[in-house]
């Protein structure tokens, strides 16, 4: 069933309505990309413990700023060297 989301309400309110109508797992299509919303913490734990659900969305900016293994190139805050890399990236962007 196609549902048009009312833009006058906050997206959380709209998703809550969809949970009441369809249950705790709802798929919303944004163009050709499915986005899955899960409203039950137990289902979230189960879903993210499975390897096939741990992938990352493919997008143009992701391919620009990440390598093939989804390691950040310009915005990685997990490594000490990331601060120098971020400085260099930000000066290049500006």
Q: Which of 77, 55, 84 is nearest to 68 (CA)?
A: 55
Query: Could you tell me the CA-to-CA distances from 15 to 19, 32, 56 in Å, in that order?
Result: 6, 19, 22
- Residue 25's pLDDT is 92
More confident residue, 57 or 89: 89
Instruction: Write down the domain spans for the chain.
Output: 1-54, 56-94
87 SS3 class = helix
pLDDT in tens, 27-76: 888 778 788 888 888 888 887 776 666 555 556 655 665 666 655 555 54
Task: Please compute the mean of the pLDDT values over residues 78-82 and round it to a whole number.
Answer: 56
pTM beyond 0.75: no
Query: Could you tell me the CA-to-CA distances from 73 to 28, 63, 86, 87 in Å, in that order?
Result: 30, 10, 9, 12
Q: Is the pLDDT of residue 14 over 90?
A: no
Q: Which of 60, 15, 59, 61 is nearest to 38 (CA)?
A: 15
């Amino acid at each position: 069933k196609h549902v048009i989301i009312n833009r006058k309400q906050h997206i959380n309110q709209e998703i809550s309505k969809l949970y009441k109508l369809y249950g705790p797992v709802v798929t919303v299509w944004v163009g050709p990309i499915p986005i899955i919303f899960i409203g039950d913490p137990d289902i979230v734990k189960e879903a993210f413990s499975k390897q096939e659900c741990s992938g990352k969305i493919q997008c143009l900016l992701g391919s620009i700023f990440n390598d093939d293994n989804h390691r950040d190139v310009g915005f990685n805050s997990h490594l000490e060297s990331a601060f120098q890399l971020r400085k260099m990236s930000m000066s290049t962007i500006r």
